[in-house]
Structure 1
Amino acid sequence: MAQSVKVRVPGTIANCGPGFDAVGMAGTIYNYLELTLTEQPGVYIEVKGEGSGTIPDNEHNIAYQAVQAVFRKVGAEPCGVILRMENSIPLARGLGSSAAAIVAGLTAANALTGSNLSSEELLEMATQIEGHPDNVAPALFGGATISVAELGKVRCLRIDPAAIFTMVVAVPEFGLSTKAARQVLPKTVPHRDAVFNVGRAAMLVGALCTGNLAYLRYVLDDRLHQPYRQRLIPGMQRVFAAAVAQGALGAVISGAGPCLVAFTQHAPAAVGEAMVHAFAENGVKAHYLLLDLDRSGAQIIEEDNT
């Protein structure tokens, strides 16, 4: 008989300004994945929503690759696999769509093979597939996460911010691959720029832990990646300024971009409209999303073992 499980995984905002490749947050936008193991051999993959017609429906599908990674890890050999994806997270926008697919595949396959892999093992597998932990960690655990990786080992500290805020995400109509966004980064940076980021990343985490979000006004600047990626996102600084003018605490590139996200505790719709208008003034069509912090991470929402 078929076994199936359905999981929900949040989109994520990585870097959060100075926390390059280390800090991430989960947001209330979700992808759903249903995995079914059948007695009939073969692979069937269906994609609905974001990425329909674009995401591979064969062995190159990254969620399927994550499923297969679990099967290999635990020694499972199912006859057939049915994978159904329902996506709301925009692709190639810096909101962790690939991380969500990876985490969804790992979580679903682990559930159907007896949940033998720990969360820490799933995190390490997800990081190996994705290449860095800043998106996969919050997708897996929810909340805000700080991650470090060395020699294949990943350490992640999950925190629940002590104050409530809204993440206003301006979503441009154009996409930007992580590979292209990384190609513009320098191989080395000045010592003063590294020091600049260390202090701000530390204060960012402190502000989240204590709930003193007023400090976000001073800590969201970055010198390791945003100045170099600015050329790829027309009007970036104007969008940042428009958000702050409407009361936002600050704004950053979401992941590798091109989405820009502002953090606010007041008038999020006004902030979003201002950001979209600023993009339009620079010839870029965009819309905005209002996201709260997802505190659950990857969740099994349906399970059928009959």
Structure 2
Amino acid sequence: MTFVEGPVTVTVPATSANLGPGYDSLGLALDLRDELTGEILTSEGLEVTVEGAGEGSVPLDESHLVVRSMRAAFEVIGKQPPGLRLHCRNRIPHARGMGSSSAAIIGGLVLARALVAGGELILDDDTLFRTAAEIEGHPDNVAPAFYGGFTIAGEDDASPTGSATHCFAVRTAVDPRISVVVFVPVVGVETKTVRGLLPETVPHADAAADAGRSALLVAALSDAPEHLYRATRDFLHQEYRRPAMPESLALVDELRADGVAAIVSGAGPTVLAFSSGVESAETTKLAARCPAGWTCHSLNVDIDGVRIL
């Protein structure tokens, strides 16, 4: 087993999970990418540099999420490098519900695999995806980050091979007319915090309504975008999270009152609104509604997922 000489660069997209009713199951890759460059050093040591999102705040040691993910990949492959150099160019906002942690995990795993000659023969795609889901804790964001496009992901109670859980992901079509506008607040929230606001049980009627909207959302994203407004109505999680992000839910309410298919992106507080093309008049009007101080991005759906450059 040998390491690849010279640096390797991968890019990985932002993601939006839940998409309204698809709690912990639906995810969409967005064309806003982090870029990670790794290199094996012949001498011992770890060098980590970061530019962009997280610069000056994320750790630059073994606790860095990309480094931890790379170590996990090397562990599966069966060989740790003597030394490692990593540079991260981050465009995905942190703690905003846009999948920055999933991008770090998928990017780190794929980068490490690419730094080992024949690494894909040992760490195949299924194993890599399962490892990513284990690190993240759930598969709904790592699935679109890895596979691209629109994914439906989840976990079985037991796999055919006898392991405790088995993650799955199915990629399905996205209508090419669909784009999104994301409104990113200045201050983020921690996923753990907003998950703590959710009740242990919900009314049966709400669960049934959410299941119906989730099914409709799959159809709407595939080839019926005219149904996106109805399909993005959530009954399970967004309203319970309002105390942690009142401005975000107020923007969702305002946009939906005008017929816009708007949702909280992932755990929030970013708001995502579906539109019809990044250069369309509809998108321009939506972007103009960005609250003062927030950042707005008009984005296509990313169909590629993680890429090695």
The normalised TM-score by structure 2 is 0.91
Q: Is the 8 A contact 1:2 1:38 kept in 2?
A: no
Q: Cα distance, 1:241 vs. partner? A: 4.0
Q: Secondary structure at the match of 2:66?
A: helix
Deviation by residue 1:260-304 (Cα, 9 ceiling, x = unmatched): 000012521211222x23xx5xxxx31211111000000001xxx
The question of 1:43 aligning with 2:15 is answered no
Structure 2 CA distance for aligned equivalents of residues 118 and 102 of structure 1: 16
Q: Is the 8 A contact 1:139 1:298 kept in 2?
A: yes
The question of 1:199 aligning with 2:212 is answered yes
The question of 1:84 aligning with 2:90 is answered no
Q: Cα distance, 1:245 vs. partner? A: 6.0
Distance 1:186 1:247, change over 3 A: closer
Structure 1 CA distance for aligned equivalents of residues 57 and 303 of structure 2: 30
Q: Is the 8 A contact 2:182 2:296 kept in 1?
A: yes
Further displaced range: 251-260 or 149-158:
149-158
Of 228, 234, 237, which aligns to 2:240? 228
Structure 1 CA distance for aligned equivalents of residues 301 and 240 of structure 2: 28
1:304 equivalent in structure 2:
none
The question of 1:171 aligning with 2:193 is answered no
How do residues 58-73 of structure 1 correspond to structure 2 at under 5 angstroms? 58-73=61-76
The question of 1:27 aligning with 2:30 is answered yes
Q: Cα distance, 1:77 vs. partner? A: 2.5
Structure 2 CA distance for aligned equivalents of residues 76 and 3 of structure 1: 18
Of 172, 180, 188, which aligns to 2:193? 180
How do residues 242-257 of structure 1 correspond to structure 2 at under 5 angstroms? 242-244=254-256, 248=260, 250-257=261-268
Q: Is the 8 A contact 2:197 2:241 kept in 1?
A: yes
Q: Is the 8 A contact 1:66 1:106 kept in 2?
A: yes
Q: Cα distance, 1:234 vs. partner? A: 2.1
The question of 1:17 aligning with 2:32 is answered no
Of 283, 288, 299, which aligns to 2:296? 288
Structure 2 CA distance for aligned equivalents of residues 219 and 208 of structure 1: 9
The AA in structure 2 aligned to 1:74 is I
Q: Is the 8 A contact 1:243 1:272 kept in 2?
A: no
Q: Secondary structure at the match of 1:47?
A: strand
Structure 2 CA distance for aligned equivalents of residues 83 and 272 of structure 1: 35
Structure 1 CA distance for aligned equivalents of residues 196 and 250 of structure 2: 24
Identity of aligned residues (%): 38
Q: Is the 8 A contact 1:14 1:24 kept in 2?
A: yes
Instruction: Give unpaired runs (5+ residues) of structure 1.
Output: 302-306
Q: Is the 8 A contact 1:71 1:77 kept in 2?
A: yes
Q: Is the 8 A contact 1:163 1:208 kept in 2?
A: no
Structure 2 CA distance for aligned equivalents of residues 287 and 205 of structure 1: 28
Q: Is the 8 A contact 2:249 2:264 kept in 1?
A: no
2:273 equivalent in structure 1:
262
The normalised TM-score by structure 1 is 0.92
How do residues 265-276 of structure 1 correspond to structure 2 at under 5 angstroms? 265=276, 266=280, 267-274=282-289, 276=290
Structure 2 CA distance for aligned equivalents of residues 19 and 50 of structure 1: 27
Instruction: Give unpaired runs (5+ residues) of structure 2.
Output: 157-163
Structure 1 CA distance for aligned equivalents of residues 284 and 138 of structure 2: 32
Q: Cα distance, 1:123 vs. partner? A: 0.9
Q: Is the 8 A contact 2:229 2:259 kept in 1?
A: no
Q: Is the 8 A contact 2:34 2:89 kept in 1?
A: yes
Structure 1 CA distance for aligned equivalents of residues 229 and 155 of structure 2: 29
The AA in structure 1 aligned to 2:125 is S
Q: Is the 8 A contact 1:169 1:289 kept in 2?
A: yes
Further displaced range: 170-179 or 231-240:
231-240
Q: Is the 8 A contact 2:154 2:167 kept in 1?
A: yes
Q: Cα distance, 1:32 vs. partner? A: 0.6
